[in-house]
A and B are shown apart, each in its own frame.
Chain A
Amino acid sequence: MKRLRLVVQLLFTIVTNGYLYGFLNGKIYRGGLKYVCVPGLNCYSCPGAVAACPIGALQALLNQRGFQVPFAALGFFFLFGSLLGRFVCGWLCPFGLVQDLLHKIPVFNKKKRLPCHNVLKYGKYVVLILLVCTGSMFLWGGFAKIPAFCKYLCPSGTLLGALPLLSANEILRSQVGGLFLWKLGILLAIVLLSVKVYRPFCQYLCPLGAIYGWFNRFSLVQICWEAEKCVSCMACERACPVALSRKEISRSPECIRCGKCADACPEKCLHFSGKDRC
């Protein structure tokens, strides 16, 4: 399962960022696929991106003159969330893959969580409300509507969008200033933290994870726990990268459906399923 997940993550990242011409020339794809969103956090200003970012799309709709309910973005969230929940985070998000790879770097005393996890885990909801929704509508920059999450926080935009574009586009490079350095600092902090702590951005800051977490309770893809077969060996809890208990696995908004619990279970009482009780 571990290898399968890595293959799926790599393939999905390559397919959804497959516009090679953009990487070579510092330009972005302008085709019809950008009418739709990918499920994961994938900056649409990445030179290779062939579709839109769902959080960027939500902010673009909220940034319109006058208030409109962002039906299209909500539609993508409901569709992807109801079918997959946070399986998107575990299997289909390019920035999740980056953090997974960084966490493979061997360092002493790896952590699953940061101290004060039970408070910090609500950070992603604060980011969703303050930066993505309220920020996009009116909070930052006076009443000029701006995509506050993309502008001030999103490390995916810096890594997948800014760095490849700036390396290939001299005009953009000449305009770099303090804001870019701020975002680069955030990216570096998350990169360094990811080596030590498992997916810090996903656990504490990602607004998309906050949205999909809400769907985890009832999404189609679930990790099924057969309680009667369980021998309480706790192998699943030790294997869980976000330190969930066996009763929380799958239904918790923090579960990213990575499947490590299912791999670790000696009795095979945890497995992917289309229903949450077996």
Chain B
Amino acid sequence: MDFWRDCRRCAWVIGALIGVFLLGLGASEGQFNVIWKKAVIICLECIGIG
């Protein structure tokens, strides 16, 4: 019981580490460039034109 309670208490650390790992994977695949390219042009769909 204590084991599972402890697991849940540190779940946020595991989640944050997974987040950092996924960010690293995204960076290695060049996904930040995709995000940047989308974010620096006016998104016509977002503003209801495109």
Residue numbers of A with Cβ under 8 A of B are 28-30, 32, 34-37, 43-45, 49, 51-53, 56-57, 60-61, 64, 68, 70-83, 146-147, 150-151, 154, 157-158, 161-162, 165-166, 172, 175-177, 179-184, 215, 217-220, 275-277
Contacts and interface: CB of A to CB of B under 8 A. Distances in A.
Contacts, number: 167
Contact of B22 (A52, A60, A74): A74
B1 interface: no
Contact of A220 (B12, B29, B49): B12
Interface string B5-30: 10011011111101111111111010
Contact of B39 (A44, A146, A179): A44
Contact of B19 (A57, A60, A77): A77
B46 A162 contact: yes
Interface of B: 5, 8-9, 11-16, 18-27, 29, 31-43, 45-50
Given A60-B34, A71-B23, A166 B15 contact: no
A29 B41 CA distance: 9
Closest 8 CB pairs of A and B: A72-B26, A82-B15, A78-B19, A79-B19, A75-B22, A75-B23, A180-B48, A162-B47
Nearest to A58: B35
SS class, residues of chain A in contact with chain B? helix
B45 A147 contact: yes
A215 B15 CA distance: 9
Contact of B38 (A52, A81, A83): A52
A176 B44 CA distance: 10
A77 B22 CA distance: 10
A75 B34 contact: no
A179 B49 CA distance: 6
Contact of B15 (A43, A52, A78, A177): A78
Contacts of A218: 8, 11-12, 15
